[in-house]
Amino acid sequence: MIAQILFILVLAAGIFLFARRIREIRRNIGLGRSEERSDQAGKRLKVMTLVALGQSKMVTRPVAGLMHILIYVGFIIINIEVLEILIDGVTGHHRIFASMGMGSLYDVLIASFEVLAAGVLLACVVFLIRRNLMNIRRFHAAEMTSWPKSDANIILVVEILLMFAFLSMNATDSILQDRVAEMQENNEPVSEALSHYIDAGSFPVSDAFFRPMFEGIESNATLMNVERFMWWFHIVGILAFLVYVPYSKHFHIFMAFPNTWYSKLDAIGKASNLKSVTNEVKLMLDPNADPFAAPAPDPNADPIKFGAKDVQDLSWKQLFDAYTCTECGRCTSVCPANQTGKLLSPRKIMMDTRDRLEEAGEDLDESGNVKTDGKTLLRDYISEEELWACTTCNACVDACPVNIDPVSIIIDLRRHLIMEESKSPESITAMFNNVENNGAPWAFPAADRGKWAEEMEA
């Protein structure tokens, strides 16, 4: 009974802390501009099914892709077992699904969880080795020091510990089940506590690899304590992880599906047309437009801003992208600028956007305003040099396994530099002048544009 109350308290605390953090993230994403991303549900479902559920963009790199699928499938399926553990914890049962007349289906389920858990364990060990011992460039970039590096390792170690606890729990349970069955065969008395360990489940992995570790424990009471400890460690660990994840890059496990649902459905090459600019340009080009006839600007309306200087100038989807990023670095590893030693890293663009948004959120909590700290995404986080290194080739967008778009953020920040600050490299300013005056990025007279045709000589 005490165990049940304790369990319900821990569960409630976990859910409360998780929900509070989700509310905070929702609020932060809500700081962004509006953007329509809810049309064409059928097409969105298709993209989400293919990219998130089907992991289609992960497998372009087969080793990491297949290992990832192992962890992903393991995570989803093992949740059935977590459900059983939660019900057991609240109701005080042991392996409640087994007593629900599932028959051999329960054996199949537990056996498959075990195989998946072993797969997850193995994949996490391989990932730890890849990350820390192998010289894979994308894991050692400038932005992958301190917290991002520890975050990645914490996630892998926690997952290894959870799987270890899960398989140890099963191994000790399996030993206890056998001992109880033997006692019953010999008509020996079985204590109330021991009687929970009914013959349930099939444990191919833990029997083979984990059982030998615990068979030496002769005392059934000690063995039960070990089993309970592993059970508690596993489920409290999962709840703690649930609270940790939304503070971590690992949040992609919740964000990947909605983020792919809200993907840009147009051609990758299409950049947005700024509506605010369209209105002004139309007015400028209309010979009949009377600027004084325009309605007086609403004094309460937000001043029109062109491009983005800080996170609240970006759209909610760009902020959603930032929380979805799991810092895998596939974008950076295909970026032509990054590969040739320039400062730009698309992954850093996303990490900076998220970090600045978090900071703006904290500012909002403290003072009710996002701007009191005077910091901005541009310059305090992302430098002009990074922005001007981008070729807008969209290789990063193509490479992202969850359809994040760093290029749109780069263009929005460039828009602010140009249209609000008139700040660009000298040669870019010259190019603008040429386009404006000559209708070409070079200083050739517009009238000569058709001259090549005169040279269609024999």
Partner 1 sequence: MAEKIQVPTMAQMAASGEVPEILFWVGCAGSFDDRAKKITKAIVRILHHCGVKYAVLGAEESCTGDPAKRAGNEFLYQMQAMQNIQVLNGYEIKKIVTGCPHCFNIMKNEYPELGGTYEVVHHTQLINDLMKEGRLQVKDGGSFKGKRITFHDPCYLGRANDVYEAPRKALEQLDSELVEMKRCKSKGLCCGAGGAQMFKEAEPGNKEVNVERTEDALEVSPNVIATGCPFCNTMMTDGVKNFEKESEIEVKDVAELIAEAADLI
The two three-digit tokens of residue 71, written as one number: 């962890």
Q: Which is nearer to partner 1, 94 or 348 (CB)?
A: 348
Radius of gyration of the chain (CA): 29
Instruction: Out of 155, 351, 389, 409, name the contact with partner 1 by CB under 8 A.
Output: 389
The reply on whether position 36 binds partner 1 by CB under 8 A is: no
Measured from the CB of residue 210, what is the shortest distance to partner 1 in angstroms? 43
Please, what is the end-to-end C-alpha distance for the chain in angstroms?
99
Smallest distance from the beta carbon of 321 to partner 1, in angstroms? 18
The contact mask relative to partner 1 for 356-375 (x = CB under 8 A, - = no) is --------------------
C-beta of 86 vs 419, nearer to partner 1: 419
How far apart are CB 143 and partner 1 at their closest, in Å? 17
The least CB distance from residue 420 to partner 1, in Å, is 10
> With binding defined as CB under 8 A, does residue 453 bind partner 1?
yes
> Which residue bears the tokens 């800080």?
310
- In the complex with partner 1, the residue whose CB is nearer, 20 or 449, is 449
| Number of residues near partner 1 (by CB under 8 A) | 71
At its nearest, how many Å lie between partner 1 and the CB of residue 407? 8
State in angstroms the smallest separation of the CB of 88 from partner 1.
48
- Considering only residues 408-427, where is the footprint of partner 1 by CB under 8 A? 411, 413-419, 424-425, 427
- Whichever of 13 and 271 has its CB closer to partner 1, that residue is 271
CB of 276 to partner 1, least distance (A): 9
| Minimum distance, C-beta of residue 377 to partner 1, in the bound complex (Å) | 15
Binding mask 51-70 for partner 1 (x = CB under 8 A): ---------x----------
The 3 state secondary structure assigned to the chain is: CHHHHHHHHHHHHHHHHHHHHHHHHHHHHCCCECCCCCCCHHHHHHHHHHHHHCCCCHHHCHHHHHHHHHHHHHHHHHHHHHHHHHHHHHHCCCCCCHHHCCCHHHHHHHHHHHHHHHHHHHHHHHHHHHHHCCCCHHHCCCCCCHHHHHHHHHHHHHHHHHHHHHHHHHHHHHHHHHHHHHHHHCCCCCCCCHHHCCCCCCCHHHHHHHHHHHCCCCCHHHHHHHHHHHHHHHHHHHHHHHHHHHHCHHHHHHHHHHHHHCCCCCCCCCCCCCHHHHHHHHHHHCCCCCHHHCCCCCCCCCCCCCCCCCHHHCEHHHHHHHHHCCCCCHHHHHCHHHHCCCCCCHHHHHHHHHHHHHHHHHHHHHHCCCCCCCCCHHHHCECHHHHHCCCCCCHHHHHCCCCCCHHHHHHHHHHHHHHCCCCCCHHHHHHHHHHHHHCCCCCCCHHHHHHHHHHCCC
- Which residues, numbered 248-307, are part of the site for partner 1 (CB under 8 A)? 266-271, 273-274, 277-278, 280-282, 284-285, 306-307
- Closest distance between partner 1 and the C-beta of residue 348, in Å? 14
The interface with partner 1 within residues 431-450 (CB under 8 A) comprises: 431-432, 435-436, 439-442, 444, 446-450
Closest to partner 1 by CB, 228 vs 342, is 342
**Cβ nearer to partner 1, comparing 82 with 428:** 428
Fill in the amino acid letter for 303. P
209 binds partner 1 (CB under 8 A): no
Cβ–Cβ < 8 Å for 399, 408: no
Among 4-12, 161-169, 311-319, 429-437, which window interacts with partner 1 (CB under 8 A)?
429-437
d(C-alpha 279, C-alpha 385), whole Å: 31
Least distance to partner 1, CB of residue 296, Å: 23
Tell me which of 21, 232, 336, 363 binds partner 1, using CB under 8 A.
Answer: 336
Site string for partner 1, 214-253 (x = CB under 8 A): ----------------------------------------
From candidates 154, 356, 385, 401, binder to partner 1 by CB under 8 A: 385
Interaction between residue 388 and partner 1 (CB under 8 A): yes
Nearest-angstrom CA–CA distance, 348 and 338: 11
Sign of CA dihedral 275, 279, 280, 285: positive
Q: How far apart are CA 173 and CA 203, in angstroms?
A: 9
Site for partner 1 in 340-359 (CB under 8 A): 340-344
Near partner 1 in 391-410, by CB under 8 A: 391-395, 398
Our CB check for partner 1 shows the closer of 204 and 336 to be 336
292 versus 442: smaller Cβ distance to partner 1: 442
